C-alpha cells in the first residue's frame, strides 16, 4: 500500500503518539496533520503543497462531521508528534501515488563522468540542485552511486563530483528534485493522496520539509527521507 511511514526519530528513542480532535477529514494514515487555524475545529490534513505548523504524522484516519449524533459527533486521530520524526516517502513519477519514476537513458556518454545527457528536459521543470543516480533496475556501471546536480541544460544534468566510472551511451539513470539539507531543495510536493512525494516537479516546489537522506533504488522503490521544517512543537526551523 502506498503510504508514508515514520522511519526514525532524531534525538529520541521512540515515537510519541497523541490523539487530537480533527477539524477536517483525514483520509488515511501516513498523512501529515497541521495545527488548526482560526475557524478550524481541530487538526487538519496538509495539502499537496502546504505543510505548515505541523502537528505530526497520522497513525489512523478520521471523518469530520458537524452533524450531531448521540454516538459521538467529534472524531479523533492519533499522530506521532516528535518534531524531528524522519518520514520515508516513496518517490512517485507524478501526482498519483504508485506512479513509476521515468528512466533517463544516456544518449551521448561522458568519459569524465560529469554529464548525464538524455532525451528528457532537465531545465523545465528544473532538476538543478536535485539528485541523479544510477537506476538499480537498469544498466549502469555506476550502480549504487548518486550525485548532486549542480547545473542543467535543456537536455542534460551536470554534476561537480564525477561518477566513479565513465558514463556510457545506454546507461540508465533516475533523478529527483531533492538534496540533503540544501536550502534550494528544502521542499516536498505530495501526491494527491498526500502519502508519496511527487518527484516529477521542479526543485524547490512544495511544502516545507527538510530532506535528510535517500534510499535510491529503481523506478518503483526509491525513497526520500525528510522531517517537517515547520513543526508546531519545534522552536526553530532550518
Per-residue pLDDT of 91-104, as tens digits, reads 999 999 999 999 99
Q: CA–CA separation, 179 vs 192, rounded Å?
A: 22
49: nearest Cα among 170, 224, 205, 222: 205
Compute the average pLDDT of residues 213-230.
96
Residue 235 predicted with pLDDT over 80: no
Tens-place pLDDT, residues 129-158: 999 999 999 999 999 999 999 999 999 999
Helix/strand/coil for 17:
strand
Between residues 165 and 13, which one has the greater pLDDT?
165
What does the domain layout of the chain look like in residue ranges? 8-83, 92-228
Q: For 18-32, 150-164, 222-236, which range has the lowest pLDDT when averaged over its residues? A: 222-236
Query: What pLDDT score does 48 carry?
Result: 97
User: In terms of Cα–Cα distance, which of 219, 228, 229 is closest to 90?
Assistant: 219
User: What is the layout of strands, in order, in the sheet containing 44-45?
Assistant: 17-21, 76-80, 54-58, 32-34, 44-45
Mean pLDDT, residues 110-118:
98
Q: Which of 164, 115, 140, 119 is nearest to 216 (CA)?
A: 140
Contact by Cβ (8 Å): 228, 208: yes
Q: Which residue has the cell 544498466?
A: 139
Give the predicted TM-score (pTM) of the model: 0.91
Report the candidate in 109, 99, 230, 112 with the shortest Cα–Cα distance to residue 176. 99
Nearest to 163 by CA among 151, 171, 155, 154: 171
* Mean pLDDT along residues 199-219: 96
Amino acid at each position: 500500500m502506498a503510504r508514508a511511514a515514520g522511519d526514525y526519530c532524531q534525538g529520541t528513542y521512540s515515537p510519541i503518539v497523541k490523539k487530537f480532535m480533527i477539524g477536517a477529514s483525514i483520509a488515511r494514515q501516513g498523512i501529515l496533520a497541521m495545527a488548526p487555524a482560526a475557524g478550524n475545529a481541530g487538526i487538519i490534513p496538509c495539502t499537496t503543497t502546504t505543510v505548515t505548523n505541523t502537528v505530526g504524522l497520522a497513525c489512523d484516519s478520521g471523518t469530520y462531521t458537524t452533524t450531531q449524533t448521540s454516538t459521538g459527533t467529534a472524531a479523533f486521530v492519533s499522530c506521532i508528534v516528535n518534531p524531528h520524526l524522519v518520514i520515508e516517502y516513496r518517490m512517485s513519477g507524478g501526482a498519483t501515488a504508485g506512479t513509476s519514476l521515468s528512466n533517463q537513458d544516456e544518449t551521448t556518454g561522458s568519459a569524465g563522468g560529469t554529464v548525464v545527457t538524455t532525451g528528457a528536459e532537465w531545465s523545465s521543470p528544473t532538476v538543478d540542485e536535485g539528485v541523479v543516480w544510477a537506476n538499480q533496475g537498469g544498466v549502469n556501471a555506476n550502480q549504487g552511486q548518486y550525485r548532486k546536480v549542480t547545473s542543467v541544460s535543456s537536455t542534460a544534468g551536470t554534476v561537480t563530483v564525477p561518477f566513479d566510472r565513465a558514463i556510457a551511451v545506454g546507461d540508465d539513470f533516475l533523478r529527483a528534485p531533492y538534496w540533503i539539507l540544501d536550502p534550494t531543495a528544502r521542499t516536498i510536493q505530495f501526491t494527491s493522496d498526500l502519502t508519496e512525494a511527487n518527484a516529477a516537479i521542479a526543485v524547490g516546489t512544495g511544502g516545507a520539509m527538510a530532506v535528510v537522506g535517500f534510499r535510491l533504488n529503481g523506478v518503483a522503490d526509491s525513497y526520500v527521507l525528510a522531517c517537517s521544517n515547520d513543526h508546531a512543537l519545534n522552536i526553530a526551523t532550518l
